[in-house]
Amino acid sequence: MLSQLSVLAVLLACVVPAAAARLAALPESLIGTWACGPTTMNGPKLVMEVTSITKFATDRTFKTTTTNVIKPSNRSPVTVVISSHGTWRLEGATLIWL
Protein backbone atom coordinates (compact mmCIF):
# COMPACT_ATOMS: atom_id res chain seq x y z
CA MET A 1 0.00 0.00 0.00
CA LEU A 2 1.28 3.46 -0.89
CA SER A 3 2.02 5.86 1.92
CA GLN A 4 0.21 9.21 1.96
CA LEU A 5 3.46 10.87 0.91
CA SER A 6 3.78 8.53 -2.09
CA VAL A 7 0.17 9.16 -3.13
CA LEU A 8 0.73 12.91 -2.91
CA ALA A 9 3.94 12.59 -4.93
CA VAL A 10 2.07 10.66 -7.66
CA LEU A 11 -0.68 13.27 -7.82
CA LEU A 12 1.81 16.12 -7.98
CA ALA A 13 3.80 14.34 -10.68
CA CYS A 14 0.89 14.90 -13.04
CA VAL A 15 1.11 18.64 -12.50
CA VAL A 16 4.53 19.55 -11.11
CA PRO A 17 7.19 16.83 -11.61
CA ALA A 18 9.86 18.81 -9.76
CA ALA A 19 7.66 19.06 -6.66
CA ALA A 20 7.02 15.33 -6.74
CA ALA A 21 10.75 14.64 -6.95
CA ARG A 22 11.35 16.78 -3.85
CA LEU A 23 8.70 14.82 -1.93
CA ALA A 24 10.17 11.51 -3.06
CA ALA A 25 13.33 11.96 -1.02
CA LEU A 26 14.10 8.23 -1.02
CA PRO A 27 14.50 6.20 -4.22
CA GLU A 28 12.28 3.48 -2.73
CA SER A 29 9.31 5.85 -2.77
CA LEU A 30 9.56 6.06 -6.58
CA ILE A 31 9.36 2.30 -7.19
CA GLY A 32 6.13 1.17 -8.83
CA THR A 33 3.71 2.30 -11.51
CA TRP A 34 2.83 5.96 -11.91
CA ALA A 35 -0.08 6.98 -14.12
CA CYS A 36 -1.20 10.40 -15.21
CA GLY A 37 -4.20 11.36 -17.28
CA PRO A 38 -6.03 11.50 -19.39
CA THR A 39 -5.25 15.18 -19.50
CA THR A 40 -7.17 17.22 -22.06
CA MET A 41 -5.57 20.12 -23.92
CA ASN A 42 -7.73 22.38 -26.06
CA GLY A 43 -6.38 24.19 -29.11
CA PRO A 44 -8.11 26.46 -31.61
CA LYS A 45 -8.84 23.61 -34.04
CA LEU A 46 -8.21 20.43 -32.05
CA VAL A 47 -8.45 18.68 -28.73
CA MET A 48 -5.64 16.42 -27.50
CA GLU A 49 -5.88 13.88 -24.70
CA VAL A 50 -2.63 12.68 -23.13
CA THR A 51 -2.20 9.64 -20.88
CA SER A 52 1.15 8.51 -19.49
CA ILE A 53 2.14 5.38 -17.55
CA THR A 54 5.65 4.97 -16.14
CA LYS A 55 7.01 1.97 -14.26
CA PHE A 56 10.07 2.47 -12.06
CA ALA A 57 11.84 -0.77 -11.05
CA THR A 58 14.09 -1.53 -8.08
CA ASP A 59 17.02 -2.13 -10.45
CA ARG A 60 16.80 1.59 -11.39
CA THR A 61 15.25 0.97 -14.82
CA PHE A 62 12.05 2.53 -16.14
CA LYS A 63 9.58 1.99 -18.94
CA THR A 64 7.11 4.67 -19.96
CA THR A 65 4.33 4.83 -22.51
CA THR A 66 2.56 8.04 -23.42
CA THR A 67 -0.55 7.96 -25.59
CA ASN A 68 -1.72 11.12 -27.35
CA VAL A 69 -5.12 11.16 -29.03
CA ILE A 70 -5.34 14.18 -31.33
CA LYS A 71 -8.88 15.09 -32.36
CA PRO A 72 -8.98 17.74 -35.09
CA SER A 73 -12.31 19.49 -35.45
CA ASN A 74 -12.71 18.53 -39.11
CA ARG A 75 -10.87 15.17 -39.39
CA SER A 76 -10.69 11.70 -37.87
CA PRO A 77 -8.71 11.33 -34.61
CA VAL A 78 -5.04 10.37 -34.76
CA THR A 79 -3.37 8.34 -32.00
CA VAL A 80 0.35 8.69 -31.28
CA VAL A 81 2.01 6.22 -28.88
CA ILE A 82 5.48 7.06 -27.57
CA SER A 83 7.43 4.45 -25.58
CA SER A 84 10.80 4.86 -23.92
CA HIS A 85 12.93 2.99 -21.46
CA GLY A 86 16.23 3.39 -19.70
CA THR A 87 17.71 3.89 -16.27
CA TRP A 88 17.01 6.49 -13.63
CA ARG A 89 18.68 8.05 -10.62
CA LEU A 90 18.05 10.72 -8.03
CA GLU A 91 20.48 13.61 -7.72
CA GLY A 92 19.36 15.45 -4.63
CA ALA A 93 15.77 16.44 -5.38
CA THR A 94 16.01 15.85 -9.14
CA LEU A 95 14.86 12.68 -10.88
CA ILE A 96 17.06 12.03 -13.93
CA TRP A 97 16.15 9.65 -16.76
CA LEU A 98 19.13 8.30 -18.68
SS3 string of the chain? CCCHHHHHHHHHHCCCHHHHHHHCCCHHHHCEEEEEEEEEEECCCEEEEEEEEEEECCCCEEEEEEEEEEEECCCCCEEEEEEEEEEEEEECCEEEEC
pTM of the model: 0.66
pLDDT digits (tens, 9 = 90+) for 4-49: 444 444 544 555 555 455 544 557 778 899 999 999 999 889 999 9
Q: CB-based contacts of 55: which residues, under 8 Å, 6+ apart?
A: 32, 33, 34, 62, 63, 64
